[in-house]
Amino acid sequence: MEPGQKLPSTILVIFGITGDLSRRYLLPALAEICANTEIGKDFRVLGVSRRQVDLNNVLGAKEKNLKAYSQMLTMDLANRSDYQKLKDEIGALSQKFTQGPQVIFYLSVPPAAADGIVGLLGESGLSQPPAKLLLEKPFGYDLSSAQEMIGRIAKYFSQEQVYRIDHYLAKESAQNIAVFLGSNALFRNIWSNQFIDHIDIVAAEDIGIGGRKEFWEATGMLRDFVQSHLLQLAALTLMEPCSHMFDFAQLPERRLAALQKMKIAELKSAVRGQYRGYRQEVGNPNSAVDTFVSLTLDSSDSRWRGVPIRLTTGKKLDQKLTKIDIHFKKSQEAEANLLTLRLHPREGIELDLWVKEPGYRHNLQKQPLRFIYEQRFGRVPEAYEQVLIDAMRAKKSLFASSEEVLTSWKILQPVLDYWSMSDSDLKIYQPGSTIEEVLQQRAETKEPKTDN
């Protein structure tokens, strides 16, 4: 958002404000919004905590400018009477606004806690428009649980009120995929199986689970990363490009149409792995939770039939990297037209080209053409800044619809069912491995012995 623009009057109620996600992403994003917009008096953050917490201990050094806009409220989230206290607090805050505020309930809590909060918000009369509900993933643990969750939310909040956050969709480079394809004739006209051989979508991390053992034992990479981030990136890549009069409002419908044509290419080819030491970390010597996943999708879309789309993600790998590699067809091995849409690091676009080296000899060299956001535009807003801004402004193009969530689970449910029958295909890999090293490793459900 451009500096100086004004946001709608908003009370942002954050459940789980003391949690890891809030500290790492949400509060820094709010601090940037406060610094770069005309929020003024018509904005308030109400942090909800189960225990008495001092606001100064919640805000980090970089978020101290939030103090003027924020306050804390202690609540028992399972106690219905405490929601009346919340309602009274929201009413008192509203009296200080120059115009009636919208209330946004941001649930930065585990799914099990979110279910109870949604129900009690509804029963307390806090779900009435213009209230909005922001939900963090995972959106269920499988297809049936996602269907149940969507049904429970629908009892109290309409589809228009619900914003399901996939912050990958809000990254500048992810948003730019649609613009890049819709507004550049060169790539728009070759974006099909006639010219593209295969697509690789990668989200690699060099960190582990960060102490979130309960969360990871209940989810794993397939549920946490593939169902949301990677399938959404695949949908953005394969969707029908928007018209020349570009409209972001078209994105959810086009992403959904792309997802509905995807399926797992072959169940037996889906790879799952677990980094060495994970079982000791979570205290479960028999855990079969996946910290690495690689699988291939097919699309029934006539434009993409026959083009494999490989999704790969993992923790404790050799580097942190998120990218989409588009491999063009080539008539000889020396050709190297690889297009990379890079989300991290160095958000931007790269295209590999063969060129002749200067000099008397006819030597060839592969060189990239690069566009990097920061080099061209300076600071790139973090994804959570865009998420919050769009939620305040009721723009839903960067949020996953309930139909997208269910379709994603339909794609992955066969893999979940197949893996539930046995863990004999689980690969135990060494922290710091490359993706290819994990893929080439044989399955081993027992952790290798250490040298000590």
* pLDDT, tens digit, 9 for 90 and up, residues 262-281: 999 999 999 999 999 999 99
More confident residue, 366 or 22: 22
What is the pLDDT averaged over residues 135-143?
88
From residue 214, alpha-carbon distances to 50, 70, 110, 116, 238 in Å are: 19, 30, 10, 18, 35
SS3 call for 333: coil
2, pLDDT greater than 70: no
pLDDT at 131: 95
Query: CA–CA separation, 101 vs 42, rounded Å?
Result: 7
What is the pLDDT averaged over residues 422-432?
94
pLDDT tens for 350-359 read 998 888 888 8
CATH 3.40.50.720 residue ranges of the chain are 10-136
Say which residues have a Cβ less than 8 Å from residue 219's Cβ, sequence separation at least 6: 138, 141, 289
Q: Which residues, listed in sequence order, are joined to residue 350 by a DSSP beta bridge?
A: 340, 370
Is the separation of the CB atoms in 258 and 239 below 8 Å?
yes
111, pLDDT greater than 80: no
Model confidence band, residue 380 (pLDDT cutoffs 50, 70, 90): confident
**Lowest mean pLDDT across 74-83, 202-211, 223-232, 356-365:** 356-365
pLDDT at 232: 95
pLDDT at 245: 53
315, pLDDT greater than 60: yes
What does pLDDT average to over the chain? 90
Is the separation of the CB atoms in 212 and 20 below 8 Å?
yes
What are the CB-based long-range contacts (under 8 Å, 24+) for 413-416? 413/142, 413/143, 414/264, 414/267, 415/222, 415/264, 415/267, 415/270, 415/295, 416/142, 416/222
375, pLDDT greater than 60: yes
pLDDT at 5: 61
Q: Which amino acid appears at position 122 of this protein?
A: G
What is the pLDDT averaged over residues 198-219?
93
pLDDT at 362: 84
**Is 244 assigned a catalytic role?**
no
167, pLDDT greater than 70: yes
Q: What percent of the chain has pLDDT over 90?
A: 61
pLDDT at 73: 94
Query: CA–CA separation, 300 vs 261, rounded Å?
Result: 5
pTM: predicted TM-score of the whole model, two decimal places = 0.91
452, pLDDT greater than 50: no
On whether the 168-378+401-440 domain is CATH 3.30.360.10, my answer is: yes
pLDDT tens for 15-60 read 999 988 888 899 999 988 888 877 767 899 999 998 888 888 888 8
Q: Provide the CATH number for the domain formed by 10-136 in this structure.
A: 3.40.50.720
pLDDT at 401: 93
451, pLDDT greater than 70: no
More confident residue, 183 or 32: 32
Is-cis flag, bond preceding 28, omega within 30?
Answer: no
Q: Look at the block and give the residue holding tokens 């037996």.
A: 268
Of the residues 167, 229, 327, 362, only one is catalytic, namely 229
pLDDT at 1: 45
CATH 3.30.360.10 residue ranges of the chain are 168-378+401-440
b/e map of 68-90 (b: 16 or more CB within 10 Å)? ebbebbebebeeeebbeebeebb
What is the pLDDT averaged over residues 227-254?
86
List phi, psi (to 5°) of 52: -65, 120
pLDDT at 66: 87
